[in-house]
Amino acid sequence: MVLVLGGMWIGQNINLLPIDASVNAPIYDELFQVLFTIGTILFIGIIGLLVFSLVRFRRRPGQLGDGIAIEGNLPLEIFWTAVPAVVVLFVGLYSYDIYDRMGGMVPLAHDHSAGMAEQRIWGGISSGTVESGIVDALPIDVTAMQFAFLFHYPDGDITAGELHVPAGRPVTLRLEAKDVIHAFWVPEFRLKQDVIPGQPTQLSFTPTRPGRYPIVCAELCGPYHGGMRSTVVVDEPEAWDTWFSGNAKPDPTSETASTNT
Ligand code: CUA
């Protein structure tokens, strides 16, 4: 009882994660708390038993014989098979539920209606996620290459080396790699998505907390993989509007219209 209650207290009260900056983050943190609780109970239980056994069953002076020969213990074996089976099954089902609540089971949609050719999306998290239904998601194309991320906003024809997003508005990234497999990871958003050459993936999220957070490449992609980092800047909506209008190419619609004729 002490072990379970202590493990639960530690799991609930010790937070090893960075600040949460997206709608997905608190959902993920629930799972992490549960996993951390289970891990703490197992760790303390096993190490405790080990230390206890080392002391309690140590060789005493004058003890020279072999230990008792024990062969098999059916109830014990059933017990230590059943407990991990139940725990692993529970963690599997619960992880599925968390991924579902993050929008991972929503059919992948082509959010880039702005002139984007029909192209298969191979995986990721679709918009129409956490808050039900697609709402005015901001489309951004992400290109990963050795060793940088490039961000392109089809709406304003902006290309940037940093990702600027407004707080409170859903964003849909369409990710594709130029050369090898990379992974787009923002720890503060609790989101990570592989970026694959020739197989576009998608990642939808809603940032919640203004600030600057690291974007990390999380797939070994070459000698400078460790240096493949960028920054996501979550702005207040007004500040983002200013940034966007300050960088957008003037009147992109008339430009496409003239090239079409
Ligand atoms: Cu790109 Cu590691």
Average pLDDT, integer, range 175-199: 94
How many angstroms does the Cα of residue 78 sit away from the middle of ligand 1? Answer: 45
Contacting residues for 151 by C-beta, under 8 A, at least 6 apart: 140, 141, 142, 143, 159, 160, 161, 162, 163, 164
Q: Rounded to 10 degrees, what is the CA torsion of 213, 216, 218, 220?
A: -170
pLDDT of residue 110: 55
Q: Ligand 1 centre from 18 Cα, in Å?
A: 21
Find the 16 Cα to ligand 1 centroid distance in Å.
Answer: 25
pLDDT of residue 102: 85
Q: Report the atom number in ligand 1 closest to the C-alpha of 221.
A: 2
pLDDT computed for residue 251 by the predictor: 61
Question: In sequence order, what are the beta bridge partners of 217?
Answer: 184
Helices 2-13 and 24-56: angle between axes, nearest 10 degrees = 140
Name the phi and psi angles at 159, rounded to 5: -115, 130
Atom of ligand 1 lying closest to residue 180 CA: 1
- Give the residue-averaged pLDDT of 72-86: 94
Smallest CA-to-CA distance from 97 within 2, 169, 30 is with 30
Over residues 66-90, the mean pLDDT reads 92
> Quick check: 115 pLDDT over 90?
no
Please write the tens of the pLDDT for every residue from 118-146: 567 888 887 654 444 556 788 899 999 99
Per-residue pLDDT reduced to its tens digit, 220-244: 999 999 999 999 999 999 999 999 9
